[in-house]
Amino acid sequence: MGYVFDFNDAMNCEKWFLNSQNRAIADSHYHLMLDMLKAHPGQSVLDIGCGLGTGVAFCHENGLQATGIDPSPYMLDIAEKNLGHWAGLHRGKAEDLPFDDNSFNYASLITCLEFVDDPRKAVEEACRVAKDKIFIGIINHYALTRVKIRIKGLFTDTVYNHAQFFSIWDLKNLIFDLLGDVPIQWRSIPIRPLPMGIIRKNLHKLHFVDRFPFGAYIVMAITLLPRFRTRPLELKICPNRSTGVVPGLTSDKTNT
């Protein structure tokens, strides 16, 4: 199941989201997700590793039918407290989703792969339940932010002490190995907004900024293509017993 957030983890996450700047960071990631998925109101999305339900709430506010799933009962308790009973919240792990094939238009795994036992299986399950695209957000293994997280973990116990980190190359290899040569779109973004918002906005119009592979956070949208599995069919034939005489070739001499 990977690492499941306990009560203290859930309280720390809620405290983090109460900070207006942190919430703005999260909302910017959700905006980017909807933009890259090209999601439209009325479509459905499954937020895998939904945590406090902030992603579910954001999608709902933007007209999507949002469902969330998380293995932590403490995180789900806070999510239900914040969202109310309207939200479809489920307890379960990413590697074994309790949904039918093609149940949703989209599935998202935002800072989720870091905490699962089997990232490949988690992505495979996301692809199974989604029929259009999946969205993945990861903390970059090669970012300076990741180094800071590791250093902080030497002196205090954090959830990131239990995390595994990925690079853009790790994620690409996983996707292509699992799905083949499918269309992908990825971007590199900072965890925290840079100063001077106008300059930052203009910088991100430049292609090389979005494609910088060492940014703090990597997001990727994967388009799912139909795949057909074929297997040989067993043909059960019961041939008639041969009499040794081929019809039509009987000699007339046998009748004289």
Q: What percent of the chain has pLDDT over 90?
A: 57
Cα–Cα–Cα angle for 16, 62, 139, nearest 5°? 40
pLDDT of res. 50 = 95
Q: What is the dihedral of CA 175, 53, 159, 163, to 10 degrees?
A: 0
List the one residue out of 5, 184, 18 whose CA is nearest residue 77: 5
Give mean pLDDT, residues 66-82: 95
pLDDT of res. 73 = 96
> Does the pLDDT at position 253 exceed 70?
no
| CB burial of residue 103 (10 Å; 0-12, 13-18, 19+) | middle
Q: What percent of the chain has pLDDT over 70?
A: 73
List the one residue out of 192, 186, 176 whose CA is nearest residue 143: 192
Per-residue pLDDT band for 25 (boundaries 50, 70, 90) equals confident
Contact 95, 74 (CB under 8 A): no
pLDDT of res. 157 = 77
- Maximum mean pLDDT: which of 15-24, 150-159, 222-231: 15-24
pLDDT of res. 231 = 60
List the one residue out of 50, 96, 57 whose CA is nearest residue 72: 50
Give mean pLDDT, residues 53-79: 95
Q: 93 or 161: whose pLDDT is higher?
A: 93
Q: 7 or 211: whose pLDDT is higher?
A: 7
List the one residue out of 92, 103, 89 whose CA is nearest residue 44: 103
Q: What is the dihedral of CA 13, 16, 21, 24, to 10 degrees?
A: 10
- Domains of the chain, start order: 7-229 (3.40.50.150)
Per-residue pLDDT band for 202 (boundaries 50, 70, 90) equals very low
> Does the pLDDT at position 169 exceed 80?
yes
| CB burial of residue 207 (10 Å; 0-12, 13-18, 19+) | exposed
Give mean pLDDT, residues 193-216: 52
CA 56/CA 52 separation, integer angstroms: 9
Neighbouring CB atoms inside 10 A of 81's CB total 11
Contact 130, 102 (CB under 8 A): yes
Contact 112, 119 (CB under 8 A): no
**pLDDT averaged over every residue in the chain:** 83
Report the DSSP beta bridge partners of residue 90: 69
| CB burial of residue 19 (10 Å; 0-12, 13-18, 19+) | exposed
Per-residue pLDDT band for 79 (boundaries 50, 70, 90) equals very high
List the one residue out of 32, 84, 72 whose CA is nearest residue 48: 72
